[in-house]
Structure 1
Amino acid sequence: MNDSSSTIADVTSVAAVSTASSSTAATPRRPAVRLRTLRRDDYPALIEILRRTWYSEWSGGQKADSDCSRRLAEADFHSCLARSSEATVAVLHGRPVGVILARVDINVPKRLCLLPNRHHRHIIRTLFPLLFSTAGRSGIAEMLRINRVDRRLIRGAKNRYDAEVTLFLVDERIRGGGVGGFLFDDLLERFRRVGVRRYYLFTDTGCNVGFYTRRGLTHRREEKVEWDDGGSTVFYLEEGTV
């Protein structure tokens, strides 16, 4: 992928998957869906899906206005891009309806994805205005808290894995159409081609955890977090093999 269409951190190199090879993996159930490399002009549609899925009504225990929820979703999206080396989007009737991002450490050492890049700069610009509102500050604090949970879950286990699935997102309005399975199976096939044997991802009880269980992933570690509003979330480190 060249810079005009790449969503990957500037310091990484990408083994892109051609549209032709992805198309051969299509299932009869969803012939209209095709997979292709993620482009920059896909960002707004995917950020909106992310906003509706996790940021539409709530931010850090505060009622989030549309600007706050959009900025939190945009920062989350770019945070995932900043540490990814693979990016594939599912397109239905000409519009993005899902995306899967991953980092293959066999080709791209994780330390390189931690270096400052354009995605990190974008995150700072996006979140800065939220420092001046209660909901914005609470939303940022909660994002940082979740990041700390993820770091605790993976602590001491990073060297076990060849790759990470950094974001897996499907438009909830078509969730029953097999798009998620199409995207995930395509990624696993690419993992096989480059020699990935064991991979991981983070998920929680606010997501479709059963999807990963049905595909044979294992709850390797978990941590329960109690929120100020009385609710709770269980976060998981999921481990899969190829």
Structure 2
Amino acid sequence: MTVELRPMTEKDFPKIESIIKSSWRYEDFCSPKVANKLAKSFLAGCLTDYTDSQVAIVNNKLVAVIFLKNNAIHRTPFKYRLKQLKTMISMMLNKEARNVASVFSYVEVIDKKLLKEAGHDYAGELSLFAVDETCQGQGVGKKLFQYAMTTFQEQQVDNFYLYTDTTCNYGFYDYHGMTKRAEMVHHFTQLAGVEPTTFFLYDYDFKQKDAD
């Protein structure tokens, strides 16, 4: 299987939103309409929080995406701030979407607690990493992750972190040498059928790995 990597373009947004929606299984706990709104809102948030992106193309189809953030050079373009605001307004105008958004706003609280528990100052973040279910386990994620590692090293980003949870294939990060630095369990009881979720912060320190 041939995997081509290239920078993301705005034409990729609908497909990325589709991958986000299926990866996080939004339709398991809300209507398709609200699931689409959630995916748009999630991507809009990610667009305010990255400095580099790549998408993976297999057989002319976008199957995965990765966003990297170098804190030293990060600046958010105004158009993405505006896009984020528009998606937030769209969520607030729909009752079901408002209810779901109010639940998921707590994820940001969890992330802040994990970052505090980790107790490190990080130079970078892997702020979005999603692979279409049809291509998982076929080396697509590995190629994107290797791109991230190489890019961070070239930019002299000494360490970076990411958030993940038990709804994702978090073992991927263990396999690729990252360290599980903090974790927290939370049960979103407001969402029917959703089991308790364990949230993780993983990190990678290039200098420490070299020393080891």
Same-fold call, TM > 0.5? yes
Deviations 1:194-241 (A, max 9, x none): 112211000011110100010111111111112214721111111112
Instruction: Say if 2:87 is the partner of 1:126.
Output: yes
Return 5+ residue gaps in structure 1 as ranges: 1-29
Q: Is the contact made by 2:123 and 2:160 (CA closer than 8 Å) also made in structure 1?
A: yes
Cα distance in 2 for residues equivalent to 1:221 and 1:56 = 25
Deviations 1:16-45 (A, max 9, x none): xxxxxxxxxxxxxx3x21101111111111
Return 5+ residue gaps in structure 2 as ranges: 207-212
Cα distance in 2 for residues equivalent to 1:67 and 1:158 = 39
Determine the structure 2 residue equivalent to 1:213: 174
Determine the structure 2 residue equivalent to 1:39: 9
Cα distance in 1 for residues equivalent to 2:137 and 2:25 = 21
> % of aligned pairs identical?
27
* 1:98 aligned residue (49, 64, 74): 64
**SS of corresponding position for 2:157:** coil
Query: What CA RMSD, in Å, does the superposition of the two structures yield over aligned residues?
Result: 1.9
Residue-pair matches, total: 203
Determine the structure 1 residue equivalent to 2:122: 161
Q: Give the Å deviation of 1:103.
A: 0.5
1:223/1:126 CA distance change after superposition, 3 Å: same
Q: Give the Å deviation of 1:55.
A: 4.0
* 1:80 aligned residue (43, 46, 54): 46
Cα distance in 2 for residues equivalent to 1:56 and 1:145 = 16
Deviations 1:44-91 (A, max 9, x none): 1111111122144234xxxx2222101100110111111100111111
Q: Give the Å deviation of 1:127.
A: 3.3
Name the aligned partner's letter for residue 181 of structure 1: K
1:143/1:120 CA distance change after superposition, 3 Å: farther
* 1:173 aligned residue (113, 118, 134): 134
Deviations 1:141-170 (A, max 9, x none): 122110111111113757621110000011
1:131/1:106 CA distance change after superposition, 3 Å: closer
**SS of corresponding position for 1:220:** strand
Determine the structure 2 residue equivalent to 1:195: 156
**SS of corresponding position for 1:57:** helix
TM-score (normalised: structure 1)? 0.78
**SS of corresponding position for 1:177:** coil
Runs of 4 or more off by more than 4 Å in structure 1? 156-159
Cα distance in 1 for residues equivalent to 2:112 and 2:81 = 18
**SS of corresponding position for 1:144:** helix
Determine the structure 1 residue equivalent to 2:209: none
Q: Is the contact made by 1:71 and 1:127 (CA closer than 8 Å) also made in structure 2?
A: no
**SS of corresponding position for 1:239:** strand
Instruction: Say if 2:33 is the partner of 1:67.
Output: yes
TM-score (normalised: structure 2)? 0.88
Determine the structure 2 residue equivalent to 1:22: none
Cα distance in 1 for residues equivalent to 2:54 and 2:195 = 34
Name the aligned partner's letter for residue 93 of structure 1: N
